[in-house]
Amino acid sequence: MHHPDAPLQLDAERPLPRHIAIIMDGNGRWARQRGLPRHAGHREGVKAVRSAVEQCRLLGVEVLTLFAFSSENWKRPQQEVGLLMELFMSALRKEVRRLRRNGIRLRVIGERSAFGPRLQQQMVEAERATAAAEGMILQVAANYGGRWDIVQAARQLAVALAAGELRAEQLDEARLGAALSFADLPNPDLLIRTGGEQRISNFMLWQAAYSELYFTSILWPDFDQAALLAAVVDFQQRQRRFGLTGEQVVSASSLSDGGGGQ
């Protein structure tokens, strides 16, 4: 635990998370507390996104994944879903230049076919426009669900099996992992959830197997750079053991949870 009076400081001796994933929760409550409609909270949340992206880039984080819309969020009132889609559209359109300028490559993960054709097109264009960037990767999880991800991977393997390209005995963690979304990237080292709930809500079920979990009651629109720094400082103070003993970890130089395909 961090001492409450000590200034928040990164430890230059300890590794930073290579991949940070964030469940951005609490927009609705943020708005309600101010007597505003829920969408005002989503709108305000876009500013927190901008701030987190900028800070992660400056920290040298390799991948930032933001959970923007879950496969279950379709069940919300139609008006709220519609406003979220509009917000995606305008954010993709407006942010591309900033992303390019900062060398950030955008990727959208999730079942995209459920979105309207214009939004799908906007996603393709934003990805294309930032494809050459060599800095941080920003993944936006939209209509993403951890169960969906495992099912889509299983379906790919079933097709390979039926085609005789894969035998059942060959199926192992590496093969299933390689068929998941973003198998080419490291698994999240640090998984943050804002808004006070302590649950995964069907986010990365497979890839977060060894993520360090960090829950904060701060509502997403209030999640500022000090709050993100606090999460990273907390992460640096953890000992990741991956099933080993603490002593084994101390004698090993560095440990990390590699990509989904490993």
- Residues labelled catalytic: 25, 73
SS (H, E, C) the chain: CCCCCCCCCCCCCCCCCCEEEEECCCHHHHHHHCCCCHHHHHHHHHHHHHHHHHHHHHHCCCEEEEEEEECCHHHCCHHHHHHHHHHHHHHHHHHHHHHHHCCCEEEEECCHHHCCHHHHHHHHHHHHHHCCCCCCEEEEEEEECHHHHHHHHHHHHHHHHHCCCCCHHHCCHHHHHHCCCCCCCECCCEEEECCCCCCCCCCCCCCCCCCEEEECCCCHHHCCHHHHHHHHHHHHCCCCCCCCCHHHHHHCCCCCCCECCC
Residue choice 17, 20, 21, 25 for contact with ligand IPE (CB under 6 A): 25
Q: Could you give the CA distance from residue 168 to residue 200 in angstroms, rounded to a whole number? A: 30
- Our CB check for ligand IPE shows the closer of 33 and 262 to be 33
Write the interaction track for ligand IPE spanning residues 27-66; mark x where CB under 6 A is met and - where it is not: xxx-------------------------------------
User: Does residue 95 interact with ligand IPE by CB under 6 A?
Assistant: no
User: Does residue 25 interact with Mg ion by CB under 5 A?
Assistant: yes
CB of 40 to Mg ion, least distance (A): 15
Residue choice 102, 120, 201, 256 for contact with ligand IPE (CB under 6 A): 201
- Our CB check for ligand IPE shows the closer of 45 and 186 to be 45
User: Does residue 22 interact with Mg ion by CB under 5 A?
Assistant: no
Residue choice 23, 109, 183, 192 for contact with ligand IPE (CB under 6 A): 23
CB of 71 to Mg ion, least distance (A): 14
Size of the site for Mg ion (CB under 5 A): 1
- Our CB check for ligand IPE shows the closer of 46 and 171 to be 46
Residue choice 55, 70, 122, 187 for contact with ligand IPE (CB under 6 A): 70
Token digits of residue 15:
């590794």
CB of 136 to Mg ion, least distance (A): 26
The item of Mg ion, ligand IPE, none sharing an interface with residue 120, based on CB under 5 to 8 Å by kind, is none
Give the number of other Cβ atoms within 10 Å of residue 114's Cβ: 13
Residues in touch with ligand IPE (CB under 6 A): 23-29, 67-70, 73, 84, 195, 197, 199, 201
Q: Which residues bind Mg ion (CB under 5 A)?
A: 25
